[in-house]
């Protein structure tokens, strides 16, 4: 009997752990190339919550607006590496706007208040996300994760949009007046070191995936997200 009771307890604990894991979800937000915003939609039931993760840089300005069909659905904003929210929706409302204190992955946690969650109520929502501000890269060391270039860019770009026979100039700086240090062909894959706007045009600092010595700047309009994996 004692063995049966212990087995029952173990099965209950395992089931409870699985259900708890299913209550929390994570989803990384990617902005389309050349944009500074995105909209995500979802539905939450009961005790479930979801973290929307996106990379940003210190000093950029984040704007978030939640549209929900339930009055007790809120979101919190968690800074990189911390569970201490810098914005709490249940006390501050459905809109956040402010400068970001540090670089890294921010989490936007959407959830139902405890009373509604206990009653297993459900809510559908739309979350509008926008990040603005100059993000010109500061020549980081080669390596690491550069997915946060220009508010959520990818780790790797692919060269695209060139006329037949043309190449993309790789320059020493983010300007057509800067010296050309190399050329890229259509289809070439490069690592994203970060992008920024200079004189109204998007420029990206890149390098060949296996050749950090090939680093330079290219016009961002000729880049699209690549599925390359090192």
* Residues 160, 127 share a domain: no
**Chain Cα centroid distance, residue 197:** 19
Give 202's pLDDT tier (boundaries 50, 70, 90).
Answer: confident
Between these two residues, 32 and 91, which has the higher pLDDT value?
Answer: 91
Number of domains making up the chain: 2
Residue 59 belongs to domain with CATH number = 2.60.120.380
- At 85 the pLDDT is 92
| Residue that is written with structure tokens 């989490």 in the block | 107
Residue 8 domain-assigned (yes or no): no
Query: Phi-psi region for residue 212, left (φ > 0), alpha (ψ -120 to 50) or beta?
Result: alpha
Burial class (CB in 10 A: 0-12, 13-18, 19+), 189: middle
Give 59's pLDDT tier (boundaries 50, 70, 90).
Answer: confident
Find the mean pLDDT for residues 107-129.
Answer: 94
CB 135, CB 151: distance < 8 Å:
yes
- At 17 the pLDDT is 43
Q: What is the pTM of this model?
A: 0.53
* Residues 160, 96 share a domain: no
- At 150 the pLDDT is 43
Between these two residues, 142 and 64, which has the higher pLDDT value?
Answer: 64
Burial class (CB in 10 A: 0-12, 13-18, 19+), 40: middle
Render pLDDT for 39-56 as a digit per residue (tens, 0 to 9).
999 999 998 899 999 888
Q: What is the DSSP letter of 153?
A: -
**Out of 121-130, 158-167, 174-183, 194-203, least confident range:** 194-203
Residue 216 domain-assigned (yes or no): yes
* Residues 106, 44 share a domain: yes
**Chain Cα centroid distance, residue 39:** 12
For the chain, give the mean pLDDT.
Answer: 80
Residue 147 domain-assigned (yes or no): no
- Give the whole-angstrom CA distance, residue 115 versus residue 60: 35
Render pLDDT for 86-104 as a digit per residue (tens, 0 to 9).
999 998 899 999 888 888 8
């Amino acid at each position: 009997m004692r063995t049966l009771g212990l087995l029952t307890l173990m099965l209950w604990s395992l089931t409870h752990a699985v259900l708890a894991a299913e209550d929390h979800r994570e989803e990384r937000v990617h902005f389309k190339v050349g944009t500074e915003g995105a909209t995500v939609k979802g539905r939450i039931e009961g005790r479930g919550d979801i973290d929307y993760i996106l990379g940003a840089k210190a000093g950029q300005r984040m704007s978030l607006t939640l549209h929900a069909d339930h009055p007790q659905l809120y979101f919190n904003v968690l800074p990189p590496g911390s569970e201490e929210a810098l914005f709490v929706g249940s006390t501050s409302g459905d809109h956040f706007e402010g400068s970001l204190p540090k670089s890294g992955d921010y989490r936007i946690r959407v959830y139902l208040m405890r009373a509604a969650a206990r009653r297993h109520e459900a809510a559908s929502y739309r979350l509008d996300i926008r990040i603005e501000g100059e993000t010109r890269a500061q020549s980081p060391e080669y390596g690491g994760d550069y997915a946060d270039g220009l508010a959520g860019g990818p780790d790797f770009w692919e060269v695209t949009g060139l006329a037949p026979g043309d190449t993309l100039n790789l320059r020493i700086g983010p300007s057509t007046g800067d010296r050309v240090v190399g050329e890229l062909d259509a289809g070439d894959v490069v690592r994203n070191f970060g992008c920024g706007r200079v004189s109204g045009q998007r420029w990206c600092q890149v390098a060949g995936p296996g050749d950090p010595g090939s680093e330079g700047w290219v016009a961002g309009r000729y880049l699209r997200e690549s599925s390359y994996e090192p």
